[in-house]
Structure 1
Amino acid sequence: MLMLLLSALLFSISSNLDNVVVGTAYGIKKIRIGIIANFIIAVVTTTGTFLSMSAGSYIAKFMPQSVSNVLGAAIIVVVGIYFVIQSLIKLIHNTNARELALKDLSHMVEYAERSDVDKSGHIDAKEAFMLALGLTFNNLGTGIAASITGVNIFLTVISTFLISILTIILGYSIGKNVLGRFFGKYAPLIAGVLLIVLGFIEMFN
């Protein structure tokens, strides 16, 4: 049970680090993400996680457990390595290397400013929904791979919902101080490392 919970938490944290970057960007621009907007983001991203993991669980039925476990874990590790490499390229060369999924803080700051069309100082339900779709789409592949390896869907869905809400709040809070830019800069690297750890746990579990 402990390993199931650990795997669910690792996946949820790594997939929700995008939320920290998003919250940080909005905090930097002082554009408020209210309770309703945060709830919408959590519901949409959690629904996406559930659907992708359900698809992965269905795919796993057609494979021997040993094969599905190694295949899913290998995909997670490869994606994690990709995130780490792309993050290191950006940090070392200060370039805008394109991540497969994770948000870039500088780009998100620009997006935050553009998304507040009416200059109200907060995002409405429609803006939150569109933002959540982008966050959800980014994590579909890893959701499928995690489910193929046997990561518990129920625990992951619950933890994803809770961590989604918390990471938005955390990101917005730290976005209003210098820590926000530091964390936003290293979030993709941290997420990549967490995915690699998760992949190896599932591979040898």
Structure 2
Amino acid sequence: MDLFPLLLLALAVSIDSFNVGFTYGMRKVKIPLHAIFIIACCSAFSLYFASIIGSHFGKILTPHLTETIGGSIFILLGAWALLQFFCTADDKTDSIENVHEKVLVKFELKSIGAVIQILKKPMTADLDKSGSINGYEAVLLGTALSLDALGAGFGASMLGFSPILLAACVGLMSAIFATTGIKFGATLGSNQLFKHFSFIPGLLLILIGIWKI
């Protein structure tokens, strides 16, 4: 197994943590170490779970077919990410603030009349408006951020990536990127330079898919 594509995949899956961390830092929202750990674990567990499922499918298919399917999954995920990037860039009616307020997950619990929206916007993810992300808020945010890892994990296992090694890399990179993003956000304030590079994860996924097909 090549280490380079594994690291590229971990980078592509984890880079959203930097974007979220950057917004936290910019908004002066505190994110303690235990919350970063929870977010990283959510991404790692999600990817590992999807990888295990994908590996079972891989056992009943031919090696060539599994590589084709796995590579195609990455290309589709990357194309979807690029489509979202360019659609957002073309939407001139949205302000910079609104661009980041995209709903990732919405859980509706009709029995108690509760609606929980997990957003990339940290100020909204801070459900109790305390200015700090606590345990359950970190779980919700980590779950939202880990959704991208589901498809990637499924495809990765069919391409022969080690589920444990990949999950460990994703968890570690998620923690590093979140921490780095917070520091950059606190330092650069309202600088919007990094939003112009949000196409990178999609491009990386496409390259990995082409590499493996």
> Do these two structures clear the TM 0.5 threshold for a shared fold by scoring above it?
yes
Contact 2:26 2:189 in 1 (8 A): no
Pairwise CA RMSD of aligned residues? 2.2
- Residue-pair matches, total: 193
Distance 1:180 1:157, change over 3 A: farther
Distance 1:129 1:180, change over 3 A: farther
Q: Give 2:107's aligned residue.
A: none
TM norm structure 1: 0.85
**Alpha-carbon distance between aligned partners in 2 of 1:71 and 1:199, rounded to the nearest angstrom:** 9
**Alpha-carbon distance between aligned partners in 1 of 2:166 and 2:99, rounded to the nearest angstrom:** 26
**Percent of residue pairs bearing the same amino acid type:** 27
Q: 1:114 aligns with which of 124, 141, 163?
A: 124
Higher strand share goes to which structure? 2
Q: Aligned pair 1:16/2:18, yes or no?
A: no
Q: 2:178 aligns with which of 168, 174, 179?
A: 168
Q: Deviations over 1:14-44 (max 9, x none)?
A: 1111111111121121101110000011111
**Alpha-carbon distance between aligned partners in 1 of 2:8 and 2:30, rounded to the nearest angstrom:** 28
Query: 2:155 is paired with a residue of what secondary structure?
Result: helix
Contact 1:24 1:184 in 2 (8 A): no
Q: 1:183 aligns with which of 182, 187, 194?
A: 194
Deviation of the 1:184 alpha carbon: 3.3
Q: Aligned pair 1:159/2:169, yes or no?
A: yes
For 1:166, give the aligned amino acid.
I
Distance 1:16 1:64, change over 3 A: same
Deviation of the 1:83 alpha carbon: 1.4
Q: Deviations over 1:150-196 (max 9, x none)?
A: 22223211211110100101211222215853213422x10001101
For 1:197, give the aligned amino acid.
L
Distance 1:174 1:77, change over 3 A: same
Q: 2:68 aligns with which of 53, 67, 70?
A: 70
Q: Give 2:116's aligned residue.
A: none
For 2:197, give the aligned amino acid.
Y
